Amino acid sequence: MAWFKHPRDIRVGVIGYGGAFNMGRQHLNEAQKAGMTPAVVCEIDPKRLEVARTDFPGIQTFDDVNRMLAQAPVDLVLHITPHNLHFPLALKCLKAGKHVVTEKPFVLTTAQCDKLIAQARRSRRMVSTYHNRHWDGWIRRAVDQVVRQKVIGEVLRINAWMGGYGMPREWWRSSKPISGGILYDWGVHLLDYSLQLLPGARLTEVSGFAHDGFWAGRMPRSHPRKNDCNEDDALVIARFDTGQMLELSVSSIRSYERPGTMEIVGTRGSYTFDFSSFRLNLPQHGKDARSGKPTNMLHSGPHWDSQGYRFYQNIADHLCGRADLIITPEWARRPIHILDLANQSARAGRAMKARYA
């Protein structure tokens, strides 16, 4: 379906123009580079609205989403707010007939994913999630080597991890009800990477484990996260119908530097990477010419370039009927379903079966 003739006809609005990483500016810059037209910023913090006006002179600004929807000429609304607001605000925008992009995570629960997907169908509008890291150089290279070229044979297992040791900061990201929990920030990126390495695999079951209370117990009473802090440490094990498995852990009490961010174990070797380089280990890859003994091959090197700008190029092309949507809401639902089941499993103390819409 083509909603627009030309990307410049797509008037873009942003909800949330926060200062933590200046993501509002990044989104509008990337949308503009993809040919679309920055039109509106809606933000409840007047100081940040001032920043938006400096970044994009002449842009229309609002401090209330309802007023923006009633008054602003906007076609596509980008949601760059704390995680718990993605669902209610995206639903409101879809009902108002706007196309929607949420920042990651898409939303917090599977039920919320399904409601947004259903509303987008009813409203005949697009909904997608800003998985800009889908095109990170390290995962682009890993997908090429592991999935296309099958250099490590059949993939058996993926381990992904993130974290360190330290008391959670006072910001909303450390609040379980607002953020979704310790797994929902970087964990969503790591799951997006992992699922690219498991094409065709259907999730069957998830086990989640979580520890909490350590940091909360040590926070002073004045710490705003004392009563709603994220878990200290969480682990997810996901099973797939292919027999493959995926383990994800994120921690604030991991007290050693574990090298790498992801390890992919295959029948013929393993591929690990961090944010600067990859290592490919192929045991018994060849034979030593003199002794005839099997030799190992170790190959390491830098990553490919990252191409996060392709996200908004695809959105513009899709809205103009020139391309299929790459980050479909069904794709964005996959990591959320794993995290939602992990939360339920950690509470219930047993594995949870996957559910498809």
Task: List residues near ligand NAD by CB under 6 A.
Answer: 15-21, 23, 42-45, 48, 65, 80-83, 85, 103-104, 130, 132, 185
Kindly tell me which of 18 and 35 has the beta carbon lying closer to ligand NAD: 18
Kindly tell me which of 45 and 241 has the beta carbon lying closer to ligand NAD: 45
In the complex, minimum distance from the CB of residue 184 to ligand NAD, in angstroms, rounded to a whole number = 8
In the complex, minimum distance from the CB of residue 135 to ligand NAD, in angstroms, rounded to a whole number = 11
Per the document, the length of the chain is: 357
Kindly tell me which of 52 and 354 has the beta carbon lying closer to ligand NAD: 52
In the complex, minimum distance from the CB of residue 312 to ligand NAD, in angstroms, rounded to a whole number = 12
In the complex, minimum distance from the CB of residue 272 to ligand NAD, in angstroms, rounded to a whole number = 22
Which region, left, alpha or beta, applies to residue 269 given φ > 0 means left and ψ of -120 to 50 means alpha?
Answer: left
Kindly tell me which of 178 and 229 has the beta carbon lying closer to ligand NAD: 178
Write out the two tokens for 267.
């029948």
In the complex, minimum distance from the CB of residue 332 to ligand NAD, in angstroms, rounded to a whole number = 12
In the complex, minimum distance from the CB of residue 108 to ligand NAD, in angstroms, rounded to a whole number = 11
User: Which residue number has the CB closest to ligand NAD?
Assistant: 18
In the complex, minimum distance from the CB of residue 130 to ligand NAD, in angstroms, rounded to a whole number = 5
Kindly tell me which of 81 and 281 has the beta carbon lying closer to ligand NAD: 81
Contact 314, 323 (CB under 8 A): yes
In the complex, minimum distance from the CB of residue 188 to ligand NAD, in angstroms, rounded to a whole number = 8
Kindly tell me which of 87 and 271 has the beta carbon lying closer to ligand NAD: 87
Residue 242: CB atoms within 10 A of its CB come to: 15
Which region, left, alpha or beta, applies to residue 135 given φ > 0 means left and ψ of -120 to 50 means alpha?
Answer: alpha
Kindly tell me which of 18 and 260 has the beta carbon lying closer to ligand NAD: 18
Kindly tell me which of 169 and 287 has the beta carbon lying closer to ligand NAD: 169
CA–CA distance, 28 with 17 (Å, rounded to integer): 10
In the complex, minimum distance from the CB of residue 131 to ligand NAD, in angstroms, rounded to a whole number = 8
Kindly tell me which of 281 and 314 has the beta carbon lying closer to ligand NAD: 314
